């Protein structure tokens, strides 16, 4: 398990009701809940994460 994740939240997040993500690994993006960090981590491929972020940006407009 990778323990040196560089966790951060979106700059658009104005509250703590958010997710944190870590993208400092070339092969995966890790995501966790800011309210319950110990509950678990979801791992995504960089391609899947990029697709999700792109979709989210398009829908937010």
List the domain boundaries for the chain.
18-60
pLDDT of residue 8: 87
Query: What local confidence, expressed as pLDDT, does residue 12 receive?
Result: 67
The encoded tokens of residue 22 equal 């870590």
Residue 59 phi/psi, 5-degree rounding, is: -75, -25
Per-residue pLDDT, 47: 96
> CA torsion 16→53→6→31, rounded to 10°?
70
Q: Rounded distance, CA 48 to CA 55, Å?
A: 11
Full pLDDT tens readout for the chain, 61 residues: 456 889 988 766 666 678 889 989 999 999 998 888 889 999 999 999 999 989 988 887 6
């Amino acid at each position: 398990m990778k323990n040196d994740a560089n966790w951060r939240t979106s700059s658009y997040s104005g509250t703590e009701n958010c997710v944190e993500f870590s993208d400092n690994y070339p092969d995966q993006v890790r995501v966790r809940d800011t309210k319950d960090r110990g509950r678990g981590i979801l791992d995504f491929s960089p391609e899947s994460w990029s697709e999700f972020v792109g979709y989210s940006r398009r829908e937010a407009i």
